[in-house]
Amino acid sequence: MKAKVYLVGAGPGDPELLTMKACRILGEAQVVLHDDLVNPEILQLAPVSARIQNVGKRCGHPRIAQEEINSLMVTLANQGLTVVRLKGGDPLLYGRAGEEMEALRGAGIEFEVVPGVTAAFGAAAAARIPLTDRRLASKVMFLTNHLRSEENAPLEPNSISQDTTVVIYMPGSEYGDLAAKLCAAGFDAHTCCLIVSAATTERQQIHAGTLEKLASTPGLPAPALLIVGGVAAYYSSAENPLPKTFLASS
């Protein structure tokens, strides 16, 4: 049997947002190595006979080193098994796919990448806001608030223009510090922002505010991300009605 590893995007959470290809490959898997935050409903698409193993790395849970995951994929593939490495969102965006592809290439293992809906798109759709708008935002910037060393990711002073939508993955809970860095990077303190937790799932929470009020916002559970920019003003709810003058003034 020819070995093969699939790096598959599980999307932001809603099983219906999986691609048809992801569903098919999961249904053929012999082994599924999944991230900690992958929706359990998605795992049910794998055959009953498949080996399902959580290899996620999440605060408060036992950690498995990336090198161990790489070695496990190679070992299983060399046993002739069809291995699905199932990642939240899209494998190619903050999913360490680069390291895993390098390990598979080095071991001579055939692999394929199956894209998924990344969390930024799922969160924006759930909040019913655009990430770009010709009147407000011509650029989108994806950032993560954590580097490999687990330190907060830097934001250079005056590096962001007002016509940019910034989406920060894994914002952590120190919102005040992050807001200060975003303001130093170029945003006005009154810039609108959204924290979206568990986007597209039944546990979804959305908190709207501005950068100046972000420090007083309670931390929302992972997976969460922060969307900052003029487009965030499009978000409306019973608690956060859209200003009547917004569309006219923008």
- Catalytic residues, by residue number, are 35, 57, 170
HEC profile of 131-162: CCECCCECEEEEEECECCCCCECCCCCCCCCC
Tokens 């932001």 map to which residue? 12
CA angle 195, 212, 221 (to 5 degrees): 25
Q: How far apart are CA 39 and CA 33, in angstroms?
A: 13
Q: Are 92 and 118 in contact (CB under 8 A)?
A: no
DSSP code for 175: H
HEC profile of 34-80: ECCCCCHHHHCCCCCCCEEEECCCCCCCCCCCHHHHHHHHHHHHHCC
Chain Cα centroid distance, residue 18 = 14
Q: Are 125 and 200 in contact (CB under 8 A)?
A: yes
Strands 4-9 and 82-87: parallel
DSSP code for 245: T
3-class state of residue 190 by DSSP: coil
